[in-house]
Amino acid sequence: MGRKVAIVADRIAWEERRLIECADTFGLSVDWVNDESLCLGGPGAPSVRDYDALLIRSRSYTRGGLVASLAEAAGARTLNTARAIHACENKAVLRTVLRTAGVPVPDFRLVLSRKDFEQALTELELPVVLKPVFGGMGKRVTLIRHADTAQSVYDYVEDLGHAFEQACLVEPYLGGTSVRCLVVGRELVGAAEFASGGTDWRNNAALGNDTRALAHDPDLVKIVDAVTAELGPGIYGVDLFRTADGYVVNEVNHAPGFRAVASATGADVPSAIARHLQELLA
């Protein structure tokens, strides 16, 4: 029997199905384990102790980070690591970690109050983007083009129920396209550019925007190398903006969807992930 790997996730989507389908080719035995069923924390971690590795694919950063932390404490190998997931889950922390390591990131301000918001608007030139510190898939990301609408936009933030939800970043609007780099281990497997389509200004793979393949140019490879040097080898969706001064890292996704990148580039992402697991477990 091959090495046993658990795909820990709250659902089986296209990506997880492709990973399960290709596992046998690489001598892996893969199960889906619902992240709601692990009940970790007790001695021995019986729900995961029979697996050689856990591939953390929870859509929720909170769930993924908690599962990885407790599983690692029980002696399990996780991909990605708890440290990497916790760095990715908080946009303010991630940007600070990367910037400290010399990785270029967009200018930003942390907004915890209306006073913060008003100060950010004086320091950053419109248009700006207001986005939650915690979250993904383009949800609640708002483009503010005009000063006369800014305060009413922030009213919605103040009405959210928890400080966790109210924590936001304000950053310059850097245009209508973004780049996703799919990283496995330390290798750039595929890169694609996403352009906003229709009437939605956001460019995000989860929103089904227009996509085209990008060459693995030296600047992209340099950025990917710098990110993995800081977070460690893993499976990442590194999202970038192209500026006049070069690429800047917008976000790093700990459990990236890769269907759009695979479709645009022809990259066999599931096999790259399975091969990486095979090498880790050799």
**Residue 180 has what pLDDT?**
94
**Residue 1 has what pLDDT?**
58
Which whole-number Å values give the CA distances from 270 to 117, 208, 226, 266, in the listed order?
42, 20, 23, 12
Is the pLDDT reported for residue 77 higher than 90? yes
161-171: per-residue pLDDT in tens?
A: 788 889 999 99
Residue 34 φ/ψ region, left for φ over 0, alpha for ψ in the -120 to 50 degree band, beta for the rest:
beta
CA 66 centroid distance within chain:
16
Residue 136 DSSP SS3: coil
Do the Cβ atoms of 144 and 128 come closer than 8 Å? yes
Average pLDDT score over residue span 201-229: 84
**Residue 199 has what pLDDT?**
65
Is the pLDDT reported for residue 183 higher than 70? yes
Each residue of 245-255: b (16+ CB within 10 Å) or e?
A: eebbbbbbbbb
Is the pLDDT reported for residue 49 higher than 60? yes
**Residue 205 has what pLDDT?**
56
**Residue 58 has what pLDDT?**
94
Spatial separation of the C-alpha atoms in residues 23 and 29, rounded to whole Å: 6
| Nearest partner of 139 among 218, 200, 185, judged by Cα | 200
Is the pLDDT reported for residue 94 higher than 60? yes
Each residue of 111-147: b (16+ CB within 10 Å) or e?
A: beeeebbeebbeebeeebbbbbbebbebeebbebeee
**Residue 195 has what pLDDT?**
83
**Residue 226 has what pLDDT?**
98
Backbone angles phi, psi at 3, to 5 degrees: -60, 140
- Does a cis peptide bond (omega within 30 degrees of 0) precede residue 250? no
Average pLDDT score over residue span 178-198: 91
Local confidence band at 200 (pLDDT 50, 70, 90 cut-offs):
confident
Do the Cβ atoms of 69 and 41 come closer than 8 Å? no
246-262: per-residue pLDDT in tens?
A: 999 999 999 999 999 99
Average pLDDT score over residue span 189-205: 77
98-139: per-residue pLDDT in tens?
A: 999 999 999 999 999 999 999 999 999 999 999 999 987 778
Q: Indicate the average pLDDT of the chain.
A: 93
Average pLDDT score over residue span 136-152: 90
Is the pLDDT reported for residue 192 higher than 70? yes
* Six token digits for residue 212: 């085209």
**Residue 119 has what pLDDT?**
98
Do the Cβ atoms of 68 and 60 come closer than 8 Å? no
Local confidence band at 203 (pLDDT 50, 70, 90 cut-offs):
low
Is the pLDDT reported for residue 20 higher than 60? yes
| Nearest partner of 171 among 131, 204, 201, judged by Cα | 131
Query: Which one-letter DSSP state was computed for residue 71?
Result: H
